[in-house]
């Protein structure tokens, strides 16, 4: 994570410069105040001058303070921006298997957890890069500037004041282990509860169908309780931090009163000195008080860092080889060595097989979405693992079983992977026999579908997904059970349209539907390998 | 809705913690008093023992000050502890209520509301509420008490100087209001951008395989960068407002001290003003502006609490779509127990037909989904106990909707549906859905092992695990999944087999198959039907299918076209 902070060293340096100016002014103004207070007793006429001067400096200090905060907070935001970008860009290159497993190296890979990492965990890194960094700099600079002045005013008192600081540090360190553990626990419980709700709501149709709401409520109640327990533990420790930080500052005043008072009695300290010293102590209250916050922010950031790195370090097992070639055309045949089969360019191929025989896996292998052995599948004699992913996936495309639609308009969903004009989209919709149904939607092609949109039936979603893939018009198209939700009549109609569209191109149908299989040029039967 | 109304929304959730809250509130004035008395002790010490060179007297005051500091510390710890505990306990209760309410929503709610939105209502919004409830509401009260305490002691000390300091409260007030408004607007904008970013994120993670299959990762990356950039930019304004506000308030508090010194110098000679008083006032002016400055921070915090409460209320106000009728529910419960008792004597759990009522009766049923596309139009039919029914029709003709209405996943608009002469609205949902099992083509596999996916929280004593196992055996691929803690790599065909096991394990009286074998190969499908035929003897089977054989063997064929029944 240091990498992200270090990258902004220039911005931080600039922020530090402004902070130094701010703190120098903050140290100088009490000197003026001290002068002024001492002038009151002797009724000096230059008092007004001193006060005007102090006011001007106060304005300047406010400007410097605002600028320094803006600079450093903005860096925090920039780090957030970069992290989000990097994590997202990394996630989309990971193979589908990563997302279908429930966890990887102890990190949950369910959608809920991943989203929580990109939002919550990145946020705690942002707090580190912005708020925490600003306050670390400010604390160090404030001490560096103000301490010498305090020593100058009263050496013993300042030593006594400084002696309080290790108490803070020791106290925070003694709690830090627990805070870290409990923080971790809370994060885990939070992830658990979001995953539970996410799953519950995604499978709500099943829960409703079996009237399992009460059972789910019971399970929720247990998880909810665990989250509460984790929080209670964290609270027990955290409740001390704020008051302890504040009490240190107040103790500073007790010291000032006693030791400063004694010095005044001894005639070594003026009322002005006392006032200035009080202002300095006040100046240092915030830096000391934030120490506790800083430590919790840093710990939280550490926990988040582990989680973020866990994602960033997952190796995208499927990536371009160093010598991967670009392949833009499909000339002769696909050879699937593990099945001892060849598929010739321009044919229609049916794939059948019992459940669990690996039909979908074959489809994923053809697009290199799943790992495969060397030379397992060759296109025009070239191992597909030697082909750049981008060009392979342009060449081969798939209509997957999950007819996921994006929360966009119908139009944007069909033209998702390729920019199409209106006529082209309508044409495709007609080919998959969905145009009339789209027109009957409230806003036609502009109707929003997907999670946030109108409800489409399984068959409608299937046809949208087919249209979306046909738009790409790849050399090799695999349809994974893509007509299963359709009645015979429409599935036949669409099949014929697809056959018409895909003359001279290669189309592979994974299906059990005999009326589709009879139209195929070639059949591949997969056997289940019981391992 | 005013903020006060929103706070009142929390009232029922606060009630169980009434005493803790009262205790914490009772501590407030005490902790303020021990805090705001500190400068007075300082003044008394300076003008008293110090001025009189009385070292022993100084000791006493130093001890008093130390005592005030110590008591204040203890009170604060207790207060934070209580309020944080109450905050989290309360939020845990609210989370439960929200989830309970979500579970009671009808399917039409889930059609309208994306999963991600509901998840964040129960999780991140509640996080926000817990944090801001304590960091906002409680600390605001603490600040207000501190301000009052300080003003009180200040005026007690010297009203003229108090007036000078108090004058500065006016600019502080307006500055705070100004920046608050600025910040609120900026924050709102940033939140909107964040919502867009998160919704895009959610979709792309959930639909990642589609993004990759469509070779659109580059496109997604660009789009994400765009949303991300917009969110980043939207934050600029709020950062500015925040930075300027805190710097300005620091400046005004310095002005106050400067003015204080100037006025003091003017009245010093004429009045009884002492040096100790001036010092106390410098302390007070700092101490007074600190809580005011905090207040502005707290108000931004509490703004997010209000947002969370508003959203919570929005969800809780969502009417429960399908309710078991109160009173009638009781009656039907009684009827249910009666029914089961009689059944067990008569024919072992099968639904007994009362009088000569048909098993299922659709009377002029009309229905449309939220988006107003009519789906069913005046559909009427009757099914007798033990019949095999086939429902056919083109995609989108409303076949699945008939089933969803039968199991009351949606409430119908017009007409009625009866089972054994009882309107389904009068049958408790649990009872209704135990009687009718629907096997859809779409299913969902929950995290957990195979067994928990079959049982789904149901009472094991009522389940026929043997029957379920016979179905599962039809998918040999599931064998290696049997011992796994979490199911993974289940193919869509295997999912459908699990679906059968899930439905039949509870031995339902009416079984509905909605394209239930669409993803299963012919051989396995045949084996499933053989098992099914063995089970279904004497029970009622409704099949939605395109396949000819199912239609041929049906006692009754219902054909739907554009939501109307064609022939029987």
- Looking at the fold, whether B37 and B88 belong to one and the same domain comes out as yes
Structure confidence by residue, pLDDT tens digits, A309-355: 988 888 888 888 888 888 888 888 999 988 889 999 999 999 998 88
Write down the pLDDT at residue B352.
45
Q: Work out the average pLDDT over A420-429.
A: 92
CA distance B520 to chain A (A): 6
CB-CB contact of B376 with B365 (8 Å): yes
Phi, psi of B474 (to 5 degrees): -75, -15
> B492 or B1, which is more confident?
B492
List the beta bridge partners of residue B390.
Answer: B543, B557
Q: Are residues B43 and B19 in the same domain?
A: yes
Q: Which CATH number is B148's domain given?
A: 1.20.1560.10
Task: Name chain B contacts of A102, Cβ cutoff 8 Å.
Answer: 447, 486, 488
In a domain, B299, yes or no: no
The CB-based long-range contact list for B203-206 (8 Å cut-off, 24+ gap) reads B203/A406, B203/A407, B203/A450, B203/A451, B204/A88, B204/A92, B205/A91, B205/A99, B205/A111, B205/A114, B205/A115, B206/A111, B206/A404
pLDDT tens per residue, range B293-302: 777 677 777 8
What domains can be seen in chain A, in order of their start residue? Answer: 2-312 (1.20.1560.10), 333-526 (3.40.50.300)
Nearest to B281 by CA among B199, B161, B385: B161
Do the Cβ atoms of B409 and A221 come within 8 Å?
A: no
Pairing mode, strands B556-561 and B564-565: antiparallel
Place of tokens 């626990």: A185
CB spacing of B458 vs A215 below 8 angstroms: yes
The answer to whether A443 contacts chain B (CB < 8 Å) is no
One domain, residues B152 and B167: no
Report the distance separating Cα A148 and Cα A158, nearest Å.
Answer: 9
Co-location of B191 and B131 in the same domain: no
Say whether both B142 and B11 belong to one domain. Answer: yes
Yes or no, beta carbons of B239 and A271 under 8 Å apart? no
pLDDT digits (tens, 9 = 90+) for B56-107: 888 899 999 999 999 999 998 998 889 889 989 999 999 999 999 999 888 8
Cα of A446 to nearest chain B Cα, Å: 14
B416 and B547: one domain? yes
B283 in A contact zone (CB under 8 Å): yes
B526-545 pLDDT per residue, tens: 899 899 888 888 889 999 87
Is residue A428 over pLDDT 90? yes
What's the CATH number where B345 sits? 3.40.50.300
Show which of residues 60-119 on chain B sit within 8 Å of chain A, judged by CB atoms.
61-62, 65-66, 69-70, 72-73, 76-77, 80-81, 84-85, 88-89, 92, 95-96, 99-100, 102-104, 107, 110-111, 114-116, 118-119
d(CA A260, CA A272): 11
Model confidence band, residue A103 (pLDDT cutoffs 50, 70, 90): low
Q: Both B417 and B550 in a single domain?
A: yes
Whether A358 has a pLDDT exceeding 60, the answer reads: yes
Chain B (31-60) residues lying within 8 Å, Cβ to Cβ, of chain A: 38, 41-42, 45-46, 49-50, 53-55, 58-59
Residue A286's pLDDT band (cuts 50, 70, 90): confident
DSSP for residue B105: S
B154 plus B166 within the same structural domain? no
**Is the pLDDT assigned to residue A404 strictly greater than 80?**
yes
pLDDT at B482 over 80: no
**Burial state string for B52-84 with b = 16 or more CB within 10 A and e = fewer than 16:** eebeebbeebbebbbebbeebbebbbbbbbbbb
Quick one: which of B203, B112, B514 has its CA closest to A455?
B112
Burial of B253 (0-12, 13-18, 19+ CB in 10 A): buried
Residue B344, pLDDT score: 37
**Pair A270, B46: CB distance under 8 Å:** no
Contacts A–B by Cβ distance under 8 A: 452
- Does B363 lie in the same domain as B462? yes
Does residue B416 sit in helix, strand or coil?
Answer: strand
User: What pLDDT shows up at residue B192?
Assistant: 85
Please, is B120 exposed, middle or buried when counting C-beta atoms within 10 Å of its C-beta (0-12, 13-18, 19+)?
A: buried
Question: Which residue do the tokens 């995604």 mark?
Answer: A202
Q: Which residue of B has its CA nearest to A354?
A: B521
| Residues B147 and B84 both lie in one domain | yes
Q: Is the pLDDT of residue A222 over 90?
A: yes
- Phi and psi at B44, nearest 5°, equal -60, -40
- Its domain, for residue B264, covers 159-272
Please give, rounded to a whole number of angstroms, the shortest distance from the CA of B480 to a CA of chain A. Answer: 8
Q: Is residue A141 pLDDT above 50, yes or no?
A: yes
Contacts of B62 in chain A (CB under 8 A): 254, 257-258, 261
Average pLDDT of span B384-409: 85
In this prediction, residues B221-236 reach a mean pLDDT of 91
Look at residue A274 and give its three-state secondary structure.
helix
Nearest CA in chain A to B438: A209
Banded pLDDT at B348 (limits 50, 70, 90):
very low
Q: A103 to chain B, minimum CA–CA distance in Å?
A: 10
Q: What is the mean pLDDT of residues B389-416?
A: 84
Q: How many CB atoms lie within 10 A of CB A276?
A: 27
Query: Does the pLDDT value for residue B190 go beyond 60?
Result: yes
Give how far the C-alpha of residue B434 lies from the chain's centroid of Cα atoms, to the nearest Å.
28
| Sign of torsion over alpha carbons A329, A418, B203, A214 | negative
Contact flag A231-B130 (C-beta cutoff 8 Å)? yes
- Domains in chain B: how many in total? 3
Q: What is the pLDDT of residue B331?
A: 38
Tell me if B497 and A355 make a contact (CB, 8 A cut-off): yes
| Long-range CB pairs of A267-272, under 8 A, 24+ apart, other chains included | A269/A153, A269/A154, A270/A38, A271/A37, A271/A38, A271/A41, A271/B46, A271/B275, A271/B278, A271/B279, A272/A33, A272/A34, A272/A35, A272/A36, A272/A37, A272/A38
Confidence bin at A195 (pLDDT 50/70/90): confident
| Chain A residues touching B229 at Cβ < 8 A | 81
Q: Which residues pair with A36 in a beta bridge?
A: none
**CA neighbor of A365 nearest in space, from A329, A336, A344:** A336
Closest in A62, A80, A112 to B251, CB measured: A62
Q: Smallest CA–CA separation between B239 and chain A, in Å?
A: 6
> Chain A contact for B372, CB < 8 A?
yes
Is B104 a member of any domain? yes
Residue B230: pLDDT band with limits 50, 70, 90: very high
Average pLDDT value over all residues in chain B: 82
Q: Do B9 and B143 have their domain in common? A: yes
Q: Which residue has the tokens 């106050």?
A: B256
| A393 near B CB under 8 A | yes
Asked if residue B394 has pLDDT above 70, the reply is: yes
**Residue contact A274–B46, C-beta within 8 A:** yes
Given CB atoms, is A352 within the 8 Å cutoff of chain B? Answer: yes
Q: Select from A210, A258, A527 the least CA-distant residue to B521.
A: A527
Q: Flag whether pLDDT at B327 surpasses 60.
A: no
The 3-state secondary structure of A57-93, one letter per residue: HHHHHHHHHHHHHHHHHHHHHHHHHHHHHHHHHHHCC
Mean pLDDT of B163-168: 86
Q: Give pLDDT, residue B341.
A: 37
> Span B490-494, mean pLDDT?
83
Q: Tell me if A366 sits within 8 A of A349, measured CB to CB.
A: no
**What are the φ/ψ torsions at residue B463 (nearest 5 degrees)?**
-100, 150
Q: Please report residues of B whose CB lies closer than 8 A to that of A204.
A: 107, 110
- Min mean pLDDT across A394-403, B15-24, B181-190 is at B181-190
Query: Nearest-CA residue of chain A relative to B279?
Result: A275
Q: Confirm whether B77 is domain-assigned.
A: yes
Which of A206, A268, A326 to probe by mutation at the B interface, max B CB count within 10 Å?
A: A206
B132/B166 same-domain check: no
Residue B345 has pLDDT above 70, yes or no: no
For the cut 60, the answer to whether the pLDDT of residue B562 exceeds it is: yes
For every residue of B106-170, DSSP letters joined together read -HHHHHHS-HHHHHHHHTHHHHHHHHHIIIIIIHHHHHHHHHHHHHHHHHHH-HHHHHHHHHTHH
The answer to whether residue B300 sits within a structural domain is no
The reply to whether B288 falls in a domain is no
Structure tokens at A56: 């001007």
* Those residues with Cβ within 8 angstroms of residue A505's Cβ, 6 or more apart along the chain or in another chain: A345, A346, A473, A474, A475, A476, A477
The reply to whether B145 falls in a domain is yes
Taking the C-alpha atoms of residue B542 and residue B149, their distance in angstroms, rounded to an integer, is 75
What is the per-residue pLDDT for A343? 92
- A242: Cβ contacts below 8 Å, ≥ 6 apart: A289, A292, B76, B80
- Closest-CA residue to A31 (of A39, A43, A19): A39
* Chain B CB contacts of A369 below 8 Å: 209, 212-213
């Amino acid at each position: 994570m240091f990498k992200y902070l270090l990258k902004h060293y220039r911005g931080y340096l600039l922020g530090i410069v402004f902070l130094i100016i701010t703190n120098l002014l903050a140290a100088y103004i009490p000197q003026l105040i001290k002068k002024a207070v001492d002038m009151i007793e002797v009724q000096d006429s230059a008092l007004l001058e001193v006060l005007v001067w102090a006011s001007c400096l106060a304005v300047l200090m406010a400007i410097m303070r605002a600028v320094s905060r803006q600079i450093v907070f903005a860096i925090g935001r920039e780090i957030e921006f970069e992290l989000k970008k990097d994590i997202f860009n990394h996630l989309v290159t990971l193979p589908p298997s990563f997302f279908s497993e429930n966890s990887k190296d102890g990190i949950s890979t369910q959608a809920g957890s991943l989203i929580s990492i990109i939002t919550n965990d990145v946020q705690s890194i942002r707090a580190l890069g912005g708020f925490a960094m600003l306050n670390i700099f400010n604390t160090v600079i404030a001490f560096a500037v103000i301490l010498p002045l305090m020593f100058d005013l009263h050496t013993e008192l300042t030593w006594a004041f400084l002696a309080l600081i290790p108490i803070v540090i020791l106290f925070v360190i003694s709690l830090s282990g627990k805070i870290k553990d409990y923080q971790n626990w809370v994060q885990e419980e939070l992830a658990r509860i979001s995953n539970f709700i996410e799953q519950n709501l995604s499978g709500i149709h099943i829960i409703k169908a079996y009237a399992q709401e009460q059972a789910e409520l019971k399970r929720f109640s247990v998880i909810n309780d665990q989250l509460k327990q984790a929080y209670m533990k964290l609270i027990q420790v955290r409740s001390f931090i704020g008051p302890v930080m504040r009490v240190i500052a107040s103790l500073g005043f007790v010291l000032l009163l006693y030791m400063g008072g004694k010095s005044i009695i001894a005639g070594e300290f003026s009322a002005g000195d006392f006032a200035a010293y009080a202002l300095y102590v006040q100046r240092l209250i915030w830096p000391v008080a934030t120490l506790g916050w800083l430590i919790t922010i840093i710990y939280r950031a550490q926990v988040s860092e582990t989680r973020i790195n866990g994602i960033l370090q997952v190796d995208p097992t499927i990536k371009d080889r160093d010598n991967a070639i670009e392949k833009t055309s499909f000339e002769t045949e696909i050879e699937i060595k593990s099945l001892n089969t060849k598929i010739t360019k321009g044919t229609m191929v049916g794939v059948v097989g019992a459940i669990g025989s690996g039909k979908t896996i074959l489809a994923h292998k053809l697009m290199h979405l799943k790992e495969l052995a060397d030379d397992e599948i060759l296109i025009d004699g070239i191992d597909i693992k030697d082909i750049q992913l981008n060009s392979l996936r342009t060449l081969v495309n798939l209509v997957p079983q999950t007819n996921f639609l994006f929360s966009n308009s119908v139009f944007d969903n069909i033209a998702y992977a390729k920019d199409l004009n209106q006529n082209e989209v309508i044409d495709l919709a007609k080919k998959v026999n969905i145009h009339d149904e789209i027109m009957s939607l409230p806003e036609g092609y502009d109707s929003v579908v997907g999670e946030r949109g109108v409800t489409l039936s399984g068959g409608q979603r299937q046809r949208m997904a087919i249209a979306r893939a046909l738009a790409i018009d790849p050399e090799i198209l695999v349809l994974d059970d893509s007509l299963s939700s359709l009645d015979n009549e429409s599935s036949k109609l669409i099949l014929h349209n697809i056959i018409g569209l895909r003359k001279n191109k290669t189309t592979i149908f994974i299906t059990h539907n005999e009326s589709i299989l009879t139209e195929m040029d070639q059949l591949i039967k997969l056997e289940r390998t019981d391992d | 809705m005013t903020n006060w109304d929103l706070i009142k929304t929390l009232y029922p959730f606060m009630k169980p913690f009434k005493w803790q809250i009262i205790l914490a509130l009772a501590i407030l004035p005490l902790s303020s008093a021990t805090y705001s008395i500190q400068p007075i002790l300082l003044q008394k010490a300076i003008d008293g023992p110090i001025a009189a060179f009385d070292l022993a007297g100084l000791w006493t005051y130093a001890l008093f000050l130390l005592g005030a500091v110590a008591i204040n510390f203890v009170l604060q710890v207790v207060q934070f502890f209580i309020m944080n505990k109450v905050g989290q306990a309360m939020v845990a209760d609210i989370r439960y209520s929200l989830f309970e309410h979500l579970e009671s929503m009808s399917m039409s709610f889930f059609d309208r509301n994306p999963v991600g939105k509901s998840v964040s209502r129960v999780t991140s919004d509640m996080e926000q509420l817990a944090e801001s409830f304590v960091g906002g509401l409680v600390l605001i009260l603490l600040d207000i008490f501190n301000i009052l305490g300080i003003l009180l002691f200040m005026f007690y000390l010297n009203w003229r100087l108090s007036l000078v300091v108090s004058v500065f409260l006016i600019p502080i007030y307006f500055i705070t209001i100004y920046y608050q408004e600025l910040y609120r607007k900026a924050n709102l904008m940033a939140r909107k951008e964040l919502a867009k970013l998160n919704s895009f994120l959610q979709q792309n993670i959930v639909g990642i395989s589609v993004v990759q299959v469509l070779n659109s990762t580059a496109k997604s990356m660009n789009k994400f960068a765009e949303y991300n950039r917009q969110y980043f930019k939207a934050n600029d304004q709020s950062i500015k407002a925040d930075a300027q506000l805190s710097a300005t308030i620091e400046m005004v508090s310095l002005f106050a001290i400067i003015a204080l010194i100037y006025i003091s110098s003017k009245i010093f000679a004429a009045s009884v003003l002492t040096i100790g008083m001036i010092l106390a006032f410098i302390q007070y002016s700092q101490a007074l502006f600190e809580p005011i400055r905090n207040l502005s921070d707290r108000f931004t915090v509490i703004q997010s609490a209000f947002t969370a409460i508003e959203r919570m209320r929005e969800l809780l106000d969502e009417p429960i779509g399908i309710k078991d009728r109160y009173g009638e529910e009781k009656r039907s419960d009684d009827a249910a127990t009666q029914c089961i008792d009689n059944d067990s004597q008569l024919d072992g759990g099968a639904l007994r037909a009362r009088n000569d009522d048909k098993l299922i009766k659709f009377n002029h049923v009309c229905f449309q989904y939220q988006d107003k596309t009519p789906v069913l139009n005046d559909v009427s039919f009757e099914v007798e106990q033990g019949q095999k029914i086939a429902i056919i029709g083109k995609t989108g003709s409303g076949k699945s909707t008939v089933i969803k209405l039968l199991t009351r996943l949606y409430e119908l608009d017009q007409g009625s549906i009866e089972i054994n002469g009882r309107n389904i609205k009068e049958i408790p949902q649990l009872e209704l859905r135990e009687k009718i099992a629907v096997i859809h083509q779409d299913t969902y596999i929950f995290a957990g092992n195979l067994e928990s996916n079959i049982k789904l929280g149901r009472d094991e004593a009522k389940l026929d695990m043997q029957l379920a196992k016979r179905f599962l055996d039809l998918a040999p691929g599931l064998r290696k999944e049997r011992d796994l803690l979490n199911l993974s790599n289940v193919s869509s065909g295997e999912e459908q087999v699990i679906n059968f096991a899930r439905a039949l394990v509870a031995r339902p009286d009416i079984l509905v198959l909605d394209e239930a074998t669409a993803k299963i190969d012919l051989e396995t499908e045949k084996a499933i039907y053989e098992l099914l035929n063995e089970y279904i003897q004497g029970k009622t089977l409704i099949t939605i299918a395109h396949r000819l054989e199912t239609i041929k063997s049906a006692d009754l064929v219902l054909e739907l076209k554009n939501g109307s029944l064609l022939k029987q």
